[in-house]
Amino acid sequence: MKYSFKNDYSEGCHPSILKALNDTNLVQQDGYGEDEYSAEAKRLIKKKFNCPPDASVHLVSGGTQANLLVISAALRPYQSVISAETGHINTHEAGAIEAGGHKINSEKTTDGKLTPEICQKALDFNSNFPHMVKPKMVYISNSTELGTHYNLNELEDLYDFCSSNGLYLFMDGARLAQGLTAESNDLKPEELSKLVDAFYVGGTKNGALLGEAIVINNLEIQKDFEFYMKQRGALLAKGRLIGIQFNELMKKDLYFELGRTANRKAMKIKNALKQKGCTFLTDSDTNQIFPILPNDWIDQLLKEFGFYVWEKTDKKHSAVRLITSWATPDEAVEKLIEQIEKL
């Protein structure tokens, strides 16, 4: 079978997590997230990300769910959310945000990242006028859907902009570990909470079987959040399942180690491609890279590896997406590099 670089959720979970699930399996615990493991996981997350004491943490099963819950809880029906055109909520969530009643003000970007200038355009267009929606939130992904990430000053600028315009800033962290451990990143986990109103810590794409930990720093968004979760089917009866996993990811540094590992593997492949003279759709140093390749190279590589062709860039070239994860075997990376060198 061909080895797949299609995504970072092709395997089960990290062995330490599996061990923890085995060890705790028959301990009786309260349901619906009221278990001790979830409580401890929440405590660890708040510590790791230096959250304010009154921040709340909520464990849910996936990214689309996390996004629709936070956005629904934050916005009134006529309010909208500003997103990069490439943002996950705008492209790959089957209209989940609109199904919750909210318009997405989608804005073009070059690299999947929003800036104050780009967000200002959405505000200019939707002035405070009751015939139009009223933007109330800015949604960003870190790392983004194009593999890029936000550095400290970029996030500071954006948060300043949001604060002075009465907008919430919400960070989709499906690949937060990968963003925060990118080589060129200078944003520290402990700086994050003071720069966003809410964010989530992605587990599914970084070693867990499932699970995203939503962190809500802004009290306005917190109110009765469990009610939203239950109403949307997001409150797991055996909430312990996610609690145990985040416990394991957070109790030492496993969460960031796995992100770093995933990135390192991608960077090896990136370097091999660079040496072949390839260019890239975006300048990513996280675990998603988008090299632009001649179409015949793509055909050849597809014989032995699985990956997605992302978009045509000209008649003879396309960008492809290659993803690595904590679970990608070194030999798969080496074999791919070997093939690249032979092209």
Least CB distance to its own copies at residue 27 (A): 7
Minimum CB distance to its own copies smaller for 72 or for 141? 72
Minimum CB distance to its own copies smaller for 138 or for 229? 229
Joined tokens for residue 109:
């970007």
Query: How far, CA to CA in Å, does 203 sit from each of 149, 211, 260?
Result: 18, 5, 14
Minimum CB distance to its own copies smaller for 30 or for 160? 30
- Count the helices and strands in the chain (H runs, E runs): 15, 14
Name the DSSP class of 85: T
Give the closest residue to 144 by CA, choosing from 117, 101, 115.
Answer: 115
Answer for the pair 214, 200: CB distance below 8 angstroms, yes or no.
Answer: yes
What is the Cα–Cα distance from 48 to 284, expressed in whole angstroms?
25
Q: Which amino acid is at 120?
A: Q
What is the Cα–Cα distance from 47 to 42, expressed in whole angstroms?
9
Joined tokens for residue 254:
């496993």
**Percent helix, strand and coil across the chain, each to the nearest 5:** 45, 20, 40
Least CB distance to its own copies at residue 216 (A): 15
Least CB distance to its own copies at residue 37 (A): 11
Answer for the pair 49, 192: CB distance below 8 angstroms, yes or no.
Answer: yes
Query: How far, CA to CA in Å, does 109 sit from each of 3, 84, 104?
Result: 32, 6, 15
Minimum CB distance to its own copies smaller for 60 or for 187? 60
Minimum CB distance to its own copies smaller for 48 or for 205? 205
Least CB distance to its own copies at residue 11 (A): 5
Minimum CB distance to its own copies smaller for 25 or for 164? 25
Least CB distance to its own copies at residue 302 (A): 16
Gyration radius of the chain over CA positions: 20
Least CB distance to its own copies at residue 10 (A): 4
Joined tokens for residue 18:
């599996």
Least CB distance to its own copies at residue 48 (A): 23
Minimum CB distance to its own copies smaller for 29 or for 151? 29
